[in-house]
Structure 1
Amino acid sequence: MESHQHRAETLRALRQICRGTSKSSASNWSGRDSPEPQRLSTGVSALDELLPGQGLEAGWLIEWLTPIEGCGAAILALQGVPPAIEQRPVWAVIDPTGEFHPPAVQGWGISLEKILWLRPTSIADAAWTVEQCLRCPAVGITWFQADSLPDRVLQRWKIAVETGGGLGVLFRPAKAARYASWADLRWLIQPRSTQTSSTGAIAGGSSNFGHSPNFGNWRVQVQLLSCRGACHVGHAVELEVCDATGDVRLVSTVAHSTPAILAAGA
């Protein structure tokens, strides 16, 4: 009964969103009438430069792979939320564990009215909810965090995001890099040096939805593991993030290398 109620409420919310969004607005980013697909920024220029066309394409499924909790993948991915919801005005967060903290994202210039926060109570409902949000033409970007997923679920999500025309962002453990994926783009994030803030506290990234670490600067290396189209696969950038301002600064660019997790084998 609870599962049926959740699914009914999700469909009702998505229908209301679609009714409140004009078709022209939802189709502006698709670029279907243009010879060349339009690109959308990741929100970090150093990452854009590693991608074909220097940006993301509508209908992409994106994976952020992290070796440990607290790497800051969500904070970096959050940079790309405002560009994604400029034309498709909804950010869907599927959060079965209750880790997302909506008020925390207001400091990033994201209105709470743009967020569709869904909390399914089972894995099956979560997978179904992600698929419905990916299919919705009014949803610009859909977020979900998972440890392991059946290949058939990822395949369905890939078909769904191509149908809806938004972006799907999936956070997974770094061990998933050993296996094939339906994702169009895969980033591997590794923690680098951390710096103390002005108060002396150690700052680190957080992979929890919407939670910010202690204010300060911290560094990560982001490597492009795979991407649809010709691009700089294997290359990486080291970034410094300021939690107080949300600014991301390029520290250095790293030439092609094989990540340790792949070199070690399954």
Structure 2
Amino acid sequence: MVRDEHRAETLHALRRLCGKVARSPEAEQEPRLSLGIPALDALLPGRGLERGSLVEWLAPVEGCGAATLALQGVRCALAQHLVWAVVDATAEFHPPAACGWGIPLESLLLLRPLAADAVWTVEQCLRCPAVGITWCWAAHLPDQVARRWKLAAEIGGGIGVLFRPDAVRRAPGADVRWRVQPRTTVKTSGRTLRVELVSCRGAFAGGSVDLDVNDATGDVRLGSAVAGATTAVWAAGA
């Protein structure tokens, strides 16, 4: 009974979104979505994420900075009036942290399904055309589930953002797979991360870039060793 109620509430919320939220003309015309970090966009064909695809962020440990990087793309999606759906079966997502980094929460759909319903919930969000970003943790992703999610993303036209452990990097993955590795550089305001494009459907992968992340503000800059005198910053709200 509880499971049926959770599913009914999820479907009701998604139907309501489809009735209220319309993609902006810019979103309809733009076939790709920016990651919000030009240095990463430059590593991808078409300089952005193809709509209707799954994107994985591989990290050695939780809290290494992968979510901060992924939030830059969420900001781009929200600027196009798309919904950000977070499927949080473990109740670990903390919305005020994103709000503190300048991410508006008006278009956040936070779903906390039963663990047994997490896979189903992600699939429904991916299928919904009003949802631009479906965000979830997926430590274990069976091939059958991955195929269902890919099909759902193609139908809905949004982006699935999955956070997974670094240990799965040699297994079959999503359409785009990033690997985040903390560098040894110590900074008072944050940290330096090396981000590698491990795989990308239909394109050569293998490029990487160092990024400086400010944990207090959520700002991301090109790594100082790479940027040199460059002063451009991709800041919260920029």
What aligned pairs does 1:108-257 form with structure 2 within 5 A after superposition? 108-122=101-115, 124-181=116-173, 183-197=174-188, 216-231=189-204, 233-251=205-223
- CA distance in 1 between counterparts of 2:78 and 2:196 reads 25
Equivalent residue for 1:47, pick from 40, 43, 63: 40
Superposition misfits of 4+ residues, deviation over 3 angstroms:
none
Contact kept in structure 2, 1:30 and 1:58, CA below 8 Å: no
Give 1:86 shift. Answer: 2.6
Q: Percent identity?
A: 59
Identify if the C-alpha distance between structure 1 residues 60 and 88 changes in structure 2 by more than 3 Å, giving closer, same or farther: farther
> Paired residue for 2:235?
none
Give 1:70 shift. Answer: 2.5
Indicate the SS of the match to 1:246.
Answer: coil
Give 1:125 shift. Answer: 0.4
- CA distance in 1 between counterparts of 2:75 and 2:36 reads 8
Deviations 1:161-213 (A, max 9, x none): 010001100000111111112x110001111124242xxxxxxxxxxxxxxxx
Give 1:112 shift. Answer: 2.0
TM score, norm. by length of structure 1 = 0.80
Give the counterpart letter for 1:190 in structure 2: Q
Identify if the C-alpha distance between structure 1 residues 108 and 5 changes in structure 2 by more than 3 Å, giving closer, same or farther: same
> Paired residue for 1:85?
78
Indicate the SS of the match to 1:113.
Answer: coil
- CA distance in 1 between counterparts of 2:121 and 2:180 reads 26
Q: Does 1:100 align with 2:93?
A: yes
Contact kept in structure 2, 1:29 and 1:58, CA below 8 Å: no
Give 1:28 shift. Answer: 4.7
Q: Which runs of 5+ in 2 are unaligned?
A: 227-238
Deviations 1:133-179 (A, max 9, x none): 00000001000102112110010000000100011000001111111
Indicate the SS of the match to 1:80.
Answer: helix
Q: Does 1:63 align with 2:56?
A: yes
Give 1:85 shift. Answer: 2.3
Contact kept in structure 2, 1:52 and 1:230, CA below 8 Å: yes
Give the counterpart letter for 1:3 in structure 2: R
- CA distance in 2 between counterparts of 1:223 and 1:145 reads 19
Identify if the C-alpha distance between structure 1 residues 70 and 111 changes in structure 2 by more than 3 Å, giving closer, same or farther: closer
Give 1:246 shift. Answer: 2.2
> Paired residue for 1:201?
none
- CA distance in 1 between counterparts of 2:25 and 2:48 reads 18
TM score, norm. by length of structure 2 = 0.89
What RMSD over aligned residues (CA atoms) do the two structures have, in Å? 1.7
Identify if the C-alpha distance between structure 1 residues 88 and 150 changes in structure 2 by more than 3 Å, giving closer, same or farther: farther
